[in-house]
Amino acid sequence: MLADAANDPGVTLVRVIANGIERADAVAVEAPLEVRIGGKPVTVLMRTPGHDEELVTGFLFGEGVIADADDVISIERLSDTSDADRGNVLDVRLMVSRRAFDVDRLFYSNSSCGICGKKSLASVEVRGHPSQSALTVSRGVLAALPDRLRAAQPTFARTGGVHASGLFTANGELVAVREDVGRHNALDKIIGWALNEGHVPLADRVLLVSGRVSYELVQKAVAAGIPVVAAVGAPSSLAVELAERFGITLVGFLRASGMNVYAHATRVIG
């Protein structure tokens, strides 16, 4: 493996042989991030480095460990670890003792599914309330979002190996975008950013994700109060059921030429 690509912690260079010619190729970084609360290890997230503090904040919010950003006193990157772990351990100090913290997230979380490894069906129950948002968005605006998201994905442009989540206004203005090898990590980073900015609940925003939309992504949208979730790929059956249950407009197969609206289509106008 070659040295990391300059100025981008999410990209590294490797040697490949293509058509008989050896050259360097950029690939997305996947690395473990150990999360501790008050010095106690609670989970390991497989992620693309960058916006790690936002990732942890969004993750803890989605797990119900924190209710808002004010519950977090500090997030410290530890340096007194082994060389292999240096920079990949974050210790969180919380404002209050979280005796009710459910330790069933004490497991290895891979980059493709953050729910995989939960211990019981009860532990995947959704935290949140049905959306009452009056937000509407036109079909024309929705159709333009995939190109706008793609244009804001520098790591994908270099590697082709990361997902993205983007927040948009009802007029199609890109508010924030995050990339990661894990689609749920990209959304946690977005939600962590929104929490730190005081924007949650995100009742006036549209979420676009770059791949398929799963139960877990809709679950995170419910917690953050996002009323419209769109994806360039397909939804799962549980994602559709959850969107119906919590009043979320769910759009799939979003293209410039068309889209499918799977739940609460009244917010899509025009």
Q: Mean pLDDT over residues 29-43, rounded?
A: 94
Does the annotation count 113 as an active-site position?
A: yes
Give the residue ranges of DSSP H helices in 101-253.
139-151, 154-159, 183-196, 215-224, 237-245
Per residue in 52-86, pLDDT tens? 999 999 999 998 899 999 999 999 999 876 655 66
Q: CA-to-CA distance for 49 and 36, rounded, in angstroms?
A: 17
Enumerate the domain spans of the chain.
33-124, 137-269
Question: Which candidate, 66, 91, 67, 69, places its Cα nearest to that of 78?
Answer: 91
Q: CA-to-CA distance for 20 and 16, rounded, in angstroms?
A: 9
Query: What dotted CATH number matches 137-269?
Result: 3.40.140.10
Instruction: Tell the burial category of 10 from Cβ atoms under 10 Å away from its Cβ (0-12, 13-18, 19+).
Output: buried
Catalytic residue among 13, 67, 113, 152: 113
Confidence of residue 102 (pLDDT cuts 50, 70, 90): low
> In a 3-state reduction of DSSP, which class is residue 69?
helix
Is the pLDDT higher at 161 or at 123?
Answer: 161
Q: Mean pLDDT over residues 227-237, rounded?
A: 98
Question: Which candidate, 213, 50, 54, 200, places its Cα nearest to that of 127?
Answer: 200
CB atoms within 10 A of CB 247: 16
Per residue in 244-268, pLDDT tens? 999 999 999 999 999 999 999 999 9
Which pair of structure tokens corresponds to residue 22? 């050896």
End-to-end Cα, the chain, rounded Å? 51
On average, the pLDDT of the chain sits at 89
89, β-bridge pairs = 34
Confidence of residue 115 (pLDDT cuts 50, 70, 90): low
Per residue in 130-142, pLDDT tens? 999 999 999 999 9
